[in-house]
Amino acid sequence: MTSADTHERHSDRFVRRVTEQCRRDRGRRAALRRGLRRPPEQAPTMHAVVAPLLPPTVTGDHEYAYYAVAAMIAASVRDGQSTGSAEDDDSDDGGEGVAAEATRPSPDDGSRPARPDLGTSLAWAVCRPGRGRRPMSAATAEKRLHLLVRQGYPAVHQQLAGVVRHLDVIDVPVNWAQLIDDLCEWRRHRDRVAKRWLQSYYRTLHNAERRAAQSNPSLEEHA
């Protein structure tokens, strides 16, 4: 068992428990939401929920990742709504949609299937928003992503909250556990995480355009 595998289970468990508490208890949801865009030191209302759920050896920058994501989960949960994971999103294209692409082996680690990351979610905002929602323009999504990956620590948390809020408005899922893992890596391995987000974004858009062309030959003829 590797430390990465252990941490992955911690992040999945944390997301599940936070989401459950947000759905069950409006007071706890409000307490977490008040910590949005705030570091743990400035989010006293969050400790009662988050502190008991943290991994026992969590470090300062990792702690910030857990608190930040808990606040974003609380901001996105609404009564009676399923949230928190791209796995909740059913594909309507026979398994060949963007969700299927996101579960293929990661180029960085072929031994583990990749979970959808933020780059994938931003691509979904362009090519597959929620039903009845207006898609994000490719120019806007690309601009937001490039601005985000240039941010250092802890500035990334400030920019991220706005991006995630926009995704929530158009009903695009975010894999919160993957986001925690990526933010935990941000201080030391930002370039690696940024590369993966960018690659996921462009790869997901490319695959969506390819499928659209295959299903509508007239589009391919004019490409």
Q: Give the CATH number, domain containing residue 55.
A: 1.10.520.40
Q: At what angle do helices 155-169 and 138-149 cross, to 10 degrees?
A: 160
Residue 169 has what pLDDT? 95
**Local confidence pLDDT in tens for the 223 residues of the chain:** 455 555 558 999 999 999 999 999 999 999 999 999 999 999 999 999 999 999 888 988 999 999 999 999 999 998 655 444 444 433 333 333 333 333 333 444 444 557 899 999 999 999 999 999 999 999 999 999 999 999 999 999 999 999 999 999 999 999 999 999 999 999 999 999 999 999 999 999 999 988 888 877 665 555 4
Query: Residue 31 and residue 26: Cα distance in Å, rounded?
Result: 9
What is the number of residues in the chain?
A: 223
- Residue 209: give the domain boundaries: 3-221
Give Cα separations from 60 to 41, 64, 190 (angstroms).
Answer: 10, 6, 16
CB 198 within 8 A of CB 147: no
The rounded distance, in Å, linking the Cα atoms of 183 and 64 is 8
- Count CA atoms within 13 Å of residue 38 on its CB side: 15
Query: Residue 79: its pLDDT value, please?
Result: 65
Residue in 88, 106, 52, 107 with CA at minimum distance from that of residue 173: 88
pLDDT of residue 108: 43
Q: List C-alpha distances in Å: 109 to 4, 104, 106, 114.
A: 12, 11, 5, 8
pLDDT at 9: 81
What is this structure's pTM? 0.81
Helix (H, G, I), strand (E, B) or coil at 33: helix
If one counts the domains in the chain, the total is 1
* Angle 98-201-166 from CA coordinates, rounded to 5°: 90
**Whole-angstrom distance, CA of residue 139 vs CA of residue 130:** 19
Q: What's the pLDDT at 214?
A: 82
